[in-house]
Amino acid sequence: MKSQIENFKQHLINQAKSNNTVRNYTSDVTHYFNIFDTINRNNIQLYKSKLSHLSAKTINLKLSALKSFNEYLLGEGLMNNVEIIKKDFIKIQSNGNPTNVTKKQVSNFLNNVSEKSNIYKSRNVAIIYLIANTGIRREEITNLKLKGLNLEIGELVVLGKGNKERTVYLNDTAIEVIKDYLIDRMKHKFFDSEYLFLSERSKKLHKDSINYIFGLYGKNEDKVGVHQLRHSFATSAIEQDILTLPELQDQLGHSSLVVTSQYTHARKENIKKKINNLRIGL
């Protein structure tokens, strides 16, 4: 089975699945076959029992990996039936809007970014404000290339999950911070790099450096992460009636409109305010 798992891994790569998907799927399938020799209905039920200490979301992710492997084997003529079926997955009630930072937190964080002095200030401001105003992902930031940037028409070519390219549109704020950064970038020792954002040690910024940069500007209640800023952009775009769902889907690079639709739910902070104003009884 080990060789089939390796073949499955290559199959996922050929389908342009993201690195995380390839890694997680092969890891979950390997975990299953460390316990069982075959995929069948009885083993799937036993496997779910062994996973019962995990969250429903985690169990569903592991089952999704097995289902994908099952379908791969079916396509290769190595299995006759799909053994992981719809009822195996645990139904999960929607958690609503994933944006868990308030507007005030985001505002305070961005103010800190603008005001705090730093040797790489223009670069850091450009990175953070670009995420805040476009919603692009951390790894997408590191893969941005100069040739994909057109400030005259406000467009940016982004390499997203599964190596899929999309065009992201820039507002005036994003254009302004990038222009400021490009002036300083010309003085950088790696100015001839094809990548937009540079590191002191290389011609491309590593994704872990993005987390470090974010950590420079937020303390305690004012701390905001990359994903939180992406979520904040998405929710704000819907709340302010700036983008339609399909438009937001394109901007964020979601493969499914269902994923994007979670941002139509009210922010938790808004729900809490309304609940606090509700008085029943005493």
Supply the residues annotated as catalytic.
Answer: 137, 161, 227, 230, 254, 263
- H helices of the chain, in order, are 2-14, 19-33, 41-50, 56-75, 103-115, 121-134, 138-142, 172-185, 207-215, 226-239, 245-252, 257-260, 268-276
What CA–CA distance (Å, rounded) separates 165 from 110?
28
What CA–CA distance (Å, rounded) separates 197 from 127?
8
What CA–CA distance (Å, rounded) separates 145 from 193?
9
What CA–CA distance (Å, rounded) separates 240 from 282?
36
Please, are residues 24 and 32 in contact by the beta-carbon 8 Å criterion?
no
What CA–CA distance (Å, rounded) separates 165 from 174?
20
What CA–CA distance (Å, rounded) separates 231 from 212?
19
Strand partners, 155: 150, 169
